[in-house]
Chain A
Amino acid sequence: MDILLQQIINGLTTGSVYAVVALGYTMVYGVIQLINFAHGEVVMIGAMVAFSVITSLAGSHLPPLVIVLAGVMAAIPACMIMGYLLERVAYRPLRHAPRLAPLITAIGMSIILQHLALLAWGRNPLAFPQIIDNRVFGIGGAAISSVQIAIILLSLAMMAGLSWFVYRTRFGIAIRATAENVHIAGLMGVNANRVIAATFVIGAGLGAVAGVMYGSYYGIAHYTMGFSLGLKAFSAAVLGGIGNIAGAMLGGILLGLVEALGTGYVGELTDLCSWPMAHGWLSAQCADGGNFVLFGSNYQDVFAFLMLILVLVFRPSGLLGERVSERA
Chain B
Amino acid sequence: MKTHRERAGLALVALALIALPFVLAMAGTAWVRITNFAVLFALLSLGLNIVVGFAGLLDLGYVAFYAVGAYVYALLASPHFGLHLPFWVILPIGATVACVAGVILGAPTLRLRGDYLAIVTLGFGEIVRIFMNNLSSPVNLTNGPKGINRIDPFQIGPLNFSASDTFGALVFSGPIKYYYFLLLVLLAVIVINRRLQDSRIGRAWVAIREDEIAAKASGINTRNIKLLAFAMGASFGGIAGGMFAAIQGFVSPESFILNESIMVLAMVVLGGMGNIWGVIAGAVLLSFVPELLRYTVEPAQMALFGKLLIDPEVLRMLVFGLALVLTMRFRPAGLWPETRHRREMSEGRT
Contact = CB atoms under 8 A, between A and B. Distances in A.
Interface string B304-348: 000000110010011011111101110011000000010001000
Interface string B132-165: 0110011000000000000000000000000000
B118 interface: yes
A318 interface: yes
Interface string B105-134: 000110111111011101110110011011
B137 A242 contact: no
B118 A107 contact: no
B240 interface: no
Contact of B269 (A100, A119, A317): A100
Given A105-B324, A112-B318, A305-B124, A318 B329 contact: no
B127 A316 contact: no
Contacts of B327: 104
B262 interface: yes
B269 A103 contact: yes
A293 B137 contact: yes
B273 interface: yes
- For the residues of A in contact with B, the DSSP-based class is helix
B270 interface: yes
Interface string A80-114: 00000000011001101111111111011111101
Contacts of B321: 107-112, 115
B332 A305 contact: no
Interface in A282-328: 292-296, 298-299, 301-302, 304-306, 308-309, 312-313, 316-318, 326, 328
- For the residues of B in contact with A, the DSSP-based class is helix
Contacts of A326: 113, 212-213
A27 B111 CA distance: 24
B116 A98 contact: no
B74 to A, nearest CB: 21
A292 B138 CA distance: 6
Contacts of A302: 126-127, 130-131
A192 interface: no
Interface in A211-249: 231, 234-235, 238, 242
B123 A305 contact: yes
B209 to A, nearest CB: 11
B284 interface: no
A118 interface: yes
A115 B317 contact: yes
Query: Is the interface on chain A under 10, 10 to 19, 20 to 34, or 35 or more residues?
Result: 35 or more
Query: Is the interface on chain B under 10, 10 to 19, 20 to 34, or 35 or more residues?
Result: 35 or more
A316 B113 contact: yes
A35 B119 CA distance: 10
A116 interface: yes
B343 to A, nearest CB: 13
A102 B269 CA distance: 10
B123 A93 contact: no
11 contacts: A102-B328, A105-B325, A108-B322, A108-B325, A111-B318, A112-B318, A119-B314, A231-B258, A295-B134, A298-B130, A298-B134
Interface of A: 29, 33, 35, 89-90, 93-94, 96-105, 107-112, 114-116, 118-119, 231, 234-235, 238, 242, 292-296, 298-299, 301-302, 304-306, 308-309, 312-313, 316-318, 326, 328
Interface of B: 52, 58, 108-109, 111-116, 118-120, 122-124, 126-127, 130-131, 133-134, 137-138, 211-214, 258, 262, 265-266, 269-270, 273, 310-311, 314, 317-318, 320-325, 327-329, 332-333, 341, 345, 349
